[in-house]
Amino acid sequence: MPIGAQPPGRHGTVDEPYSALNLRLVLAAFGFVVCTVLSIWLFHEGWTLPGWLLAAWAVVAVIDIVVVQLRRRARHRAEGDGDHSLFE
């Protein structure tokens, strides 16, 4: 899967982007923090299976953070310096 400013074949424009990358980054970071804290707490309480499930979701959140950052960097290279709000 190529990682560019947006996936090929999508119909997003500068005015209407395909994905709100900044919002997606914030949500992925929030999911990582919540899943990590709850996973540690569940391991401490002895609930190993739910702890491992939340640890796996934390790993998925980290992967999403990396992908979003790569797409944000590609957008920055394609568009140059520009302010993007949380929803762009």
| pTM of the predicted structure, to 2 decimals | 0.74
For residue 74, name the pLDDT band (cuts at 50, 70, 90): confident
Q: Dihedral sign, CA of 28, 31, 35, 36?
A: positive
For residue 52, name the pLDDT band (cuts at 50, 70, 90): very high
Residue 78: the pLDDT is 77
Q: In this predicted model, what pLDDT tens digit does every residue of 9-40 receive, in sequence order?
A: 665 665 565 668 888 999 999 999 999 999 99
Instruction: Pull the structure tokens for residue 77.
Output: 């290279």
Asked if 19 and 49 touch (Cβ cutoff 8 Å), the reply is no
Separation of alpha carbons 63 and 22, rounded Å: 15
Asked if 31 and 57 touch (Cβ cutoff 8 Å), the reply is yes
